[in-house]
Amino acid sequence: MEINKDKLAQLGNLDDDVLKDIIRQVIKAAGGNSLYAEMAANNTKQIKAKLQSANPAEIEQIINIVGKDKAAEILNNIEVK
């Protein structure tokens, strides 16, 4: 799976509520707890800034933690919305 700058820009331009849902999904898939997921989801401004500056290695690391299949599922859901 490859996430390019266009995909990162698309994620960064999502509505805050949609991005919050994605953040929760990613953290849950990575094995994080719901409290941490809610804290992260309530910080969309910082997440969007990080998406703009993320490099391919950082994104690949997240994908490996979440799992390629789950990451693909989350990204496919974004494209449908």
User: Distance of CA 11 to CAs 16, 48, 55, Å?
Assistant: 10, 8, 14
CA trace torsion 37, 43, 49, 54 (10° rounding)? -10
pLDDT in tens, 18-68: 999 989 988 998 899 999 999 999 999 998 998 888 888 888 888 888 888
Does the predicted model carry a pTM greater than 0.75? yes
Question: What are the boundaries of each domain within the chain?
Answer: 5-80
